[in-house]
């Protein structure tokens, strides 16, 4: 088999295009629009909405097919296929159907539960730039509908994670970094070769970064739920949070796709941190004693979160680390089908239907 197939070359080209267009259009939308004429601002915002909604959805469909073609050549991809189907359905709902129903082309900001983004909270605070912008485009009724969707969606994610683990959001619904890490997985990194699992030194640093980002997310959440009425400098807080998103989330995630691994942001995502705890409460784990482990190491080599699954499997110990996003790459890669993703609810449901 050729080391570079046309599918992989096309996938890499699409990722370059996605990053390039994202940087150009985002720079115009976040940097130029505030000072642009109304006509130019409207044109740029429309282009941004087309890129974020229609282009992203089409990209997910096309790249999912390419990734499945590439990975099918190397073995089973049952869980990966479920991931990609989930992202396609999520994109159709969040980027196409709901923007039409709610008349809100930026509804994707309301589809990322706390504590990842406080945009929905800011939209409900009188006088914020986000509420003023949305009130002009979708009106107060549209804002209320979007906020209602946000709380319903967030509640569903929290309950769903308790039942099905972190996999639900991080490997099936996340339209920020989770989808890109899955649909572009064979093409990452764009520069150089695939990196080995991170060493304990880097994992320690990322663990510290995870705590910092989680505390920052809690601060912004508390501010917009309680402190915004006590401290009047809302514009400064909103601007700081915007810069945090642009630099440490959007730009850094794209840089990781180019130079490292697709899920490097997942190591310190504040929402992922919370869902990791909830997933553990719900009994999320990778069982390693379904069959005999031959210690081939494929599970460890494909794990995007540098989990040494092989060591767990050697002793038949379940993998229940907080880093696990439930992508199932290790399950698909195991040649003896030793591994199995599960939660308390999934185990009880399986036993009930037998």
Structural domain range at position 226: 6-265
Q: Is residue 179, in this structure, part of any structural domain at all? A: yes
Looking at the chain, the whole-number percentage of residues with pLDDT higher than 70 is: 96
Closest C-alpha among 49, 66, 51 to residue 19: 51
257 and 287 in a single domain? The answer is no
As to burial, measured by CB atoms within 10 angstroms (0-12 exposed, 13-18 middle, 19+ buried), residue 14 is middle
Q: Which residue has the tokens 């997910």?
A: 60
CA angle 313, 64, 269 (to 5 degrees): 60
Residue 245 gets which letter from DSSP? I
DSSP β-bridge partners for residue 285: 342
- Give the whole-angstrom CA distance, residue 61 versus residue 59: 5
Give 179-217 pLDDT, tens digit per residue: 999 999 999 999 988 888 999 999 999 999 999 999 999
Judged against a pLDDT cut of 50, whether residue 2 lies above it is answered with: no
Q: Is residue 273, in this structure, part of any structural domain at all? A: no
Give 133-174 pLDDT, tens digit per residue: 888 888 888 899 999 999 999 999 999 999 999 999 999 999
DSSP β-bridge partners for residue 341: 286
298 and 177 in a single domain? The answer is no
Judged against a pLDDT cut of 90, whether residue 73 lies above it is answered with: no
158 and 291 in a single domain? The answer is no
Query: Of 221, 239, 265, which residue is a domain's last?
Result: 265
Q: Is residue 270, in this structure, part of any structural domain at all? A: no
293 and 250 in a single domain? The answer is no
117 and 173 in a single domain? The answer is yes
Measured over the CA atoms of residue 20, residue 23, residue 27 and residue 29, the dihedral's sign is positive
Q: Rounded to two decimals, what is the model's pTM?
A: 0.91
Query: Of 265, 300, 321, which residue is a domain's last?
Result: 265
- What is the H or E stretch that residue 341 is in? strand 340-342
Residues in contact with 188: Cβ distance below 8 Å, sequence separation at least 6, in sequence order:
15, 181, 194, 257, 260, 261, 262
171 and 292 in a single domain? The answer is no
13-21: long-range contacts at Cβ-Cβ below 8 A with a sequence spacing of 24 or more?
Answer: 14/59, 14/62, 14/63, 14/66, 14/184, 14/187, 15/63, 15/184, 15/187, 15/188, 15/190, 15/257, 16/190, 18/59, 18/180, 18/184, 19/254, 19/257, 19/258, 21/51, 21/55
């Amino acid at each position: 088999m050729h080391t570079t197939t046309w599918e992989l070359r096309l996938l890499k080209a699409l990722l370059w295009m996605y990053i390039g267009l994202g940087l150009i259009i985002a720079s115009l939308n976040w940097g130029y629009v505030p000072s642009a004429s109304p006509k130019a601002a409207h044109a740029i915002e429309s282009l941004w909405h087309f890129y974020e909604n229609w282009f992203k959805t089409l990209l997910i469909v096309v790249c999912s097919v390419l990734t499945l073609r590439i990975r099918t050549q190397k073995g089973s991809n049952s869980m990966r296929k479920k991931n990609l189907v989930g992202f396609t359905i999520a994109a159709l709902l969040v980027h196409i159907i709901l923007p039409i129903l709610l008349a809100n082309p930026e509804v994707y900001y309301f589809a990322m539960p706390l504590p990842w983004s406080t945009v929905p909270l800011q939209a409900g605070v009188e006088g914020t730039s986000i509420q003023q912008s949305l009130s002009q485009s979708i009106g107060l009724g549209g804002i209320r509908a979007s906020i209602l969707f946000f709380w319903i969606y967030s509640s569903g994610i929290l309950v769903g994670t308790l039942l099905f683990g972190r996999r639900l959001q991080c490997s099936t619904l996340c339209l920020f970094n989770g989808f890109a890490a899955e649909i572009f997985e064979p093409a990452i990194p764009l520069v150089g070769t695939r990196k080995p699992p991170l060493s304990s030194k880097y994992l320690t640093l990322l663990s510290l970064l995870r705590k910092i980002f989680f505390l920052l997310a809690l601060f912004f959440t508390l501010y917009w739920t309680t402190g915004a009425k006590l401290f009047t400098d809302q514009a400064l807080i909103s601007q700081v949070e915007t810069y945090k998103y642009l630099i440490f989330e959007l730009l850094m995630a794209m840089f990781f796709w180019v130079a490292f691994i697709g899920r490097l942001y997942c190591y310190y995502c504040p929402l992922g941190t919370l869902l990791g705890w909830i997933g553990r409460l719900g009994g999320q784990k990778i069982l390693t004693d379904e069959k005999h482990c031959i210690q081939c190491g494929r599970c460890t080599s494909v794990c995007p979160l540098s989990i040494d699954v092989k060591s767990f499997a050697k002793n038949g110990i379940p993998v229940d680390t907080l880093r696990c996003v439930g992508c199932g790459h290790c399950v698909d890669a195991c040649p003896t089908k030793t591994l199995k993703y599960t939660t308390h609810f999934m185990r009880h449901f399986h036993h009930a239907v037998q």
